[in-house]
Structure 1
Amino acid sequence: MAHMNQKCAAWVIDLLEIQPNDKTLEVGFGPGVGIELLTKAALEGYVAGVDPSQEMVAQARARNATAITSGHVDLRYGSAESLPFEDNTFNKALAINSMQVWMDAAAGLREIRRVMKAGGRIALGFTPYSGQQKVGLSDRLAAAGLVEAHVVETDTGFCVLAIKPRPDEGQMQSNIGTE
């Protein structure tokens, strides 16, 4: 899993334009490869994550032990549908090859929106073996209250990007790009 998702994670992190002070959440972090990449991009920021597998949490904690000890990283056992973080905490969020296995994707997307700051960006990346279809993804993010949802594709996968609207944007939603 670590090897298969590393390239996609690097690409998605690049699409999110992670800055040194970003507060970033990864949902379904698996063995922690994406978390490791995020800590290198957000050198002075905060990286957190949840994963529904105790085994993956243990592997990710081992892989990122130094960053956890320094307080830079917080990895927890949990699900997308019930994120253990305060409202308006993160300005970036991502999930790699995990949304298709969430118990309730709509609830998971609403939870991500809840913990995101206004103007925060979300990216959901998928490799061809994920089984996830592109069709309808932008609509699913829009239904969760995210705006500017659009799909970006490469020959090795695709990513759907969206933004949590600022209060002055109201519920104005715009779907841009290809589905």
Structure 2
Amino acid sequence: MFSLIRRNFSKPKGWIGVITGKIMARENQFINQWTISRLGVRRGDKVLEVGYGPGYALEYILKNYPVVKADGIDISETMKEQASIRLKDYMEAGKTELSAADIGEARIPANTYHKILSVNNYTIWDEPRNGLSHLYEAMIPGGTIAITMQPREENASPNKTKMFGKQIYDDLSACGFERISMKFKRVKPEMTVCVTARKPWK
């Protein structure tokens, strides 16, 4: 059972996906808030979350930053169904839109989002730099992106966290982002990294 749930984290589906979503919401709660705090969300911003899972971070943003629009893209249809229940009122009010698609293939309008975040999702992207290139185009110049990872594998360690941070840093740099910064935080069960960057003004 537990091995099945672990495998389901990359693309939750079915009843196991519902259980997975509840686990993700509980385990990611603190680091979601930490990541959001590093974005510097402002009044009137349009925010995009990649890998929104059960919709906890989007709900947090919409509750705490009322004059924003916060959309999400996630590869899992099960997560879209779960998040749609959580965010029903916001969806009806036009405050959020959810889609189910692979970030490497999604069609996202260019120059739309001021802030983009992704928590514990980056390392399951099929082609991370391709996904980042799409997000680069989707961001307005001067926009900020925050990507957070906390290793959950059996061989998780601070060294693995640092490896994730370097990978994200290098990928952001290769895709044209600037002012890249890495921050580490000790959060059970393992040290966590959040990498932020900006799309340059042209």
Query: Fold conserved (TM > 0.5)?
Result: yes
After TM superposition, give the deviation of residue 119 of structure 1 in Å.
Answer: 0.1
Contact (CA 8 Å) 1:21, 1:46: kept in 2 or not?
yes
Residues 92-116 of structure 1: CA distance to partner in whole angstroms, max 9, x if unpaired?
0000000100111010111110100
Q: Which amino acid aligns with 1:136?
A: Q
The equivalent residue for 1:115 is 138
Q: Which amino acid aligns with 2:112?
A: T
Q: How many aligned positions are there?
A: 167
Q: Which of 70, 91, 94 in structure 2 is aligned with 1:71? A: 94
Contact (CA 8 Å) 1:25, 1:49: kept in 2 or not?
yes
Q: Which of 159, 164, 171 in structure 1 is aligned with 2:199? A: 164
1:51-66 alignment, distance < 5 Å = 51-66=74-89
Q: Does 2:40 align with 1:17?
A: yes
The equivalent residue for 1:138 is 169
Q: Does 2:178 align with 1:147?
A: yes
Q: Which of 60, 65, 69 in structure 2 is aligned with 1:37? A: 60
Larger radius of gyration: 2
CA distance in 2, matches of 1:12, 1:165: 21
The equivalent residue for 2:25 is 2
Contact (CA 8 Å) 1:19, 1:41: kept in 2 or not?
no
State the superposition RMSD in angstroms.
1.3
Q: Which of 116, 129, 147 in structure 2 is aligned with 1:106? A: 129
Moved over 4 A (4+): none
CA distance in 2, matches of 1:148, 1:163: 6
CA distance in 1, matches of 2:150, 2:45: 25
CA distance in 1, matches of 2:139, 2:93: 23
CA distance in 2, matches of 1:101, 1:160: 16
Q: Name the structure where helix makes up a greater proportion of residues.
A: 2
After TM superposition, give the deviation of residue 28 of structure 1 in Å.
Answer: 0.7
Q: Which amino acid aligns with 1:146?
A: F
Contact (CA 8 Å) 2:108, 2:134: kept in 1 or not?
no
- Extract unaligned runs of 5+ from structure 1: 168-179
CA distance in 1, matches of 2:106, 2:66: 24
After TM superposition, give the deviation of residue 82 of structure 1 in Å.
Answer: 2.5
After TM superposition, give the deviation of residue 5 of structure 1 in Å.
Answer: 0.9
